[in-house]
Amino acid sequence: MFQPEIESMERKELTRLQNQRLKETVERVYHSVPFYRDKLKEAGLHPNTFNGLDELTKLPFTVKKDLRDHYPFGLFAVKQEEVVRLHASSGTKGKPTVVGYTRKDLDHWADVCARAIVAAGGRTGDVFHNAYGYGLFTGGLGMHYGAERLGVTTVPVSGGNRTRQALLIEDFRPRGIAGTPSFILSLGEAMIQAGKDPRATSVEYGIFGAEPWTEEMRQALEEMWDIHALDIYGLSEVIGPGVAIECWQAKDGLHIAEDHFLVEVIHPDTGEPVSDGELGELVFTTLTKEAIPVIRYRTGDLASVSREPCRCGRTHARMSRIKGRIDDMLIIRGVNVFPSEIEPVVLAQAELAPHYQLVVEREGGLDQLTVEVEVTEDYYDHIGRELEAGEQAEMLKKRFAHQLKDLLGLTSQVKLYAPGAIPRSEGKAVRIIDRRKLLNKQS
């Protein structure tokens, strides 16, 4: 562990620390952020009488729209001259969500990212290939300073240019690699196409996140690279990467850095807490953030939390993989569909590659789901140009559509594509193309 005294702290002691820090945070926002002062007053709360964890659920929620409405710095709790860094999330519509960091915030962020690298199997002296994007996105710089804090030789390669990345991996011989799972998958493919074997590289562990992925994708990545693939979670509004990380020992849930981030899981419709182990929306309250603390921030991410002890010795609660996002949930003819449900079915077909998109259209008032998916190189070589109409391809489509129907209870169309035909993203993979929304906008 990078900070064993914290990461394996007795839960009783941890709770005491959280309680004290929560009170301090409420006090800080009350006195320095008008938005929170108004909301706390509305809820009948005052820092002088606030009881800490016992009264957590009385605190008001914060949502992404609150950050957007106060663009760019309206929710900052410190003077601008104390803010030494800005980041922003890559919103596709409207203005980005801007977050700031004081020196102390950066210090804590480096700590939690260093903890993450160690949990994934990293150690001082490693070479660490960081393929998260550098810039306003938190992934690149967040992991970068974590890596430097731990004391690994950090390669700030950022995203893109797979050929160059492959060369650097061969020549610099990293033990660790980090990036979005979809990018590292396509990097591996690019290597294979160039006649190189990702399994033969020096890489032993990968730290993958920033987008939803599945157990099946973990297997595919571990197989392709011969590595341990670990899930890292985070979001700009809370800090960036490093909010939670899997440990290589158990690979069973992501340890939340609970000394900095207080977690709750709520029912997305009622806002009421759900029990441990039950799926709901993750809500975080920052406990040490200075520049932009958040109170009960609703992430829109669906997961469950467990407080069972872990074999790695860390005592911090574990969250499950993200099962989906509230706003990524497609409702197709009344059926709720998450891209993460479809990924295992794709990976279960030996002929299909894990590059897929879900396209939803409205035809004659009825929603139609089409799963567009690539076939593997091997299969493509085998059936050649018969992808469109060949008998074998038809059988594959039928089998896949049948399994989708079994899973979703929904008839969907399947379109097969040649390897490389589905656009690769340099950052987060785009899985959903919802053409219904475009139609609504035009009408």
Binding site residues, ligand DLL, CB under 6 A:
89-90, 132, 137-139, 209-212, 231-236, 240-241, 299, 301, 322, 325
Query: CA-CA distances (angstroms) from residue 316 to 53, 196, 207, 308, 319?
Result: 17, 40, 19, 9, 10
Which residue lies nearer to ligand DLL by CB, 8 or 89? 89
Residue 426 Cβ, how far from ligand DLL at the closest point, in Å?
13
Measured in whole angstroms, how far is the alpha carbon of residue 61 from the centre of its chain? Answer: 21
The SS3 of residue 287 is coil
Judge contact between 231 and 301, C-beta under 8 A.
no
Q: For residues 300 and 285, what is the distance between their CA atoms, to the nearest angstrom?
A: 14
Which residue lies nearer to ligand DLL by CB, 292 or 416? 292
Please give the helix or strand (H or E) that residue 292 lies within, else none: none
Residue 279 Cβ, how far from ligand DLL at the closest point, in Å?
14
Which residue lies nearer to ligand DLL by CB, 204 or 231? 231
Q: Provide DSSP, 170-194.
A: HHH--SEEEE-HHHHHHHHHHHHHT
Residue 162 Cβ, how far from ligand DLL at the closest point, in Å?
19
Residue 396 Cβ, how far from ligand DLL at the closest point, in Å?
29
Which residue lies nearer to ligand DLL by CB, 98 or 210? 210
Residue 329 Cβ, how far from ligand DLL at the closest point, in Å?
12
Q: What angle do CA 350, 202, 2 make, to 5 degrees?
A: 105
Distance separating the N- and C-terminal Cα atoms of the chain: 56
Which residue lies nearer to ligand DLL by CB, 17 or 250? 250
- Amino acid found at 7: E
The SS3 of residue 379 is helix
Q: What is the CA radius of gyration of the chain?
A: 23
Residue 130 Cβ, how far from ligand DLL at the closest point, in Å?
10
Torsion over CA: 35, 37, 43, 47 (sign): positive
Non-local CB neighbours of 398 within 8 Å, separated by 6+ positions: none
Which residue lies nearer to ligand DLL by CB, 18 or 97? 97
Closest residue to ligand DLL using C-beta atoms: 209
Residue 232 Cβ, how far from ligand DLL at the closest point, in Å?
5
Measured in whole angstroms, how far is the alpha carbon of residue 96 from the centre of its chain? Answer: 18
Which residue lies nearer to ligand DLL by CB, 176 or 234? 234
Judge contact between 175 and 147, C-beta under 8 A.
no
Residue 24 Cβ, how far from ligand DLL at the closest point, in Å?
25
Which residue lies nearer to ligand DLL by CB, 182 or 368? 182
Which residue lies nearer to ligand DLL by CB, 159 or 212? 212
Judge contact between 250 and 312, C-beta under 8 A.
yes
What b-and-e string marks burial along 208-239, b requiring 16 or more CB atoms within 10 Å of the CB? bbbbbbbebbbebbeebbebbbbbbbbbbbbb
Neighbours of 382 (CB within 10 A): 12
Q: For residues 116 and 411, what is the distance between their CA atoms, to the nearest angstrom?
A: 41
Residue 87 token pair: 């980041």
Residue 138 Cβ, how far from ligand DLL at the closest point, in Å?
5
Residue 362 Cβ, how far from ligand DLL at the closest point, in Å?
26
Residue 210 Cβ, how far from ligand DLL at the closest point, in Å?
4
